[in-house]
Amino acid sequence: MNILLVYAHPEAKSLNGSLKNFTVNHLQEAGHQVQVSDLYAMKWKASLDGDDRTDRQADARFYPTHDSRLAFENGTQSEDIAREQEKLRWADTVILQFPLWWFSMPAILKGWVERVYAYGFAYGVGEHSDTHWGDRYGEGSMAGKRAMLMVTTGGWESHYSPRGISGPINDILFPIHHGILYYPGFDVLPPFVMYRTDRMDETRFSNLCTELGQRLDNLAHTTPIAFRQQNAGDYDIPQLTLRADITPDIYGFAAHLK
């Protein structure tokens, strides 16, 4: 497979840096092609703005969606953006690796999503009609590709349990899993989450690598999270609410799981 690892940690000698190196080696030894977008090393520009379109007139009003669409259609996107899109087209599987900072991805990775996910590429794709609200949530440019999060957190596993104070990890990650990965069509694999990573010794690291290696060996065979497709009949369109006769007692993120 072709595997893209998008990696966001500022320190190469960190636990995340070691896990990144382990991952790349492990995948390559298994015969995969691997590309790494090491966002800090690349000095990735995090903030989406008018400079992301190279042919914009300096005094023109900047419309994030409209300008993204024009730049994508006309091939006038900033080169760093186009290069990441090319990596996404190339990849069969995408891994986003990051430390959980304030219950979400680091800003530099959020800015990768915002800038690389152009209109016409990751959203604004497909027909809009009374029965089909764009190619999204299970359809889209990334359909047929797989994606997985690799996440470290200093918190304990119990803090992210169903009644843990942080909120359940799957709910904390839902906006990323469903809103960033499933939206443009990825099949989303269960995340690989590592807790209490400020307490790491060689034994724990070794065990972690064994467990991670098994997950990496099964990338192609792991069952994705069973999100519901938007345009397959489960939702009323254009309200995009789950049909009244489907699991009528379930609300919230859980309603979008089959």
Rule CB under 8 A: which residues touch its own copies? Answer: 10-11, 13-14, 40, 44, 46-50, 61-65, 99, 101-104, 106-108, 110-111, 113-114, 117, 137, 154, 156, 158-159, 161-168, 171-172, 174-176, 178-180, 198, 230, 235, 238-242, 250-256
Cβ 211 to its own copies shortest distance, Å: 22
Is 51:78 a contact under the CB 8 Å cutoff?
A: yes
Is 103:164 a contact under the CB 8 Å cutoff?
A: no
Residue with token string 């520009």: 45
Alpha helices (H) along 173-201? 174-176
Of 229, 237, 233, give the one whose Cα is nearest residue 257: 229
Phi, psi of 256 (to 5 degrees): -95, 10
Is 39:109 a contact under the CB 8 Å cutoff?
A: yes
| Sequence-separated (6 or more) residues with CB below 8 Å from residue 250 | none
Cβ 195 to its own copies shortest distance, Å: 12
Residue with token string 């896990």: 19
Cβ 101 to its own copies shortest distance, Å: 5
> Which lies closer to its own copies via its Cβ, residue 27 or residue 37?
37
- Tokens representing 1 are 């497979």
> Which lies closer to its own copies via its Cβ, residue 220 or residue 254?
254
- Tokens representing 106 are 């680091």
> Which lies closer to its own copies via its Cβ, residue 30 or residue 255?
255
Cβ 3 to its own copies shortest distance, Å: 23
- Tokens representing 251 are 């609300």
Cβ 214 to its own copies shortest distance, Å: 27
Cβ 47 to its own copies shortest distance, Å: 4
Burial class of residue 103 in the structure, from the number of CB atoms within 10 Å of its CB (0-12 exposed, 13-18 middle, 19+ buried): middle
| Half-sphere CA count of 234, side-chain side, radius 13 A | 15
> Which lies closer to its own copies via its Cβ, residue 103 or residue 205?
103
> Which lies closer to its own copies via its Cβ, residue 118 or residue 216?
118
> Which lies closer to its own copies via its Cβ, residue 28 or residue 241?
241
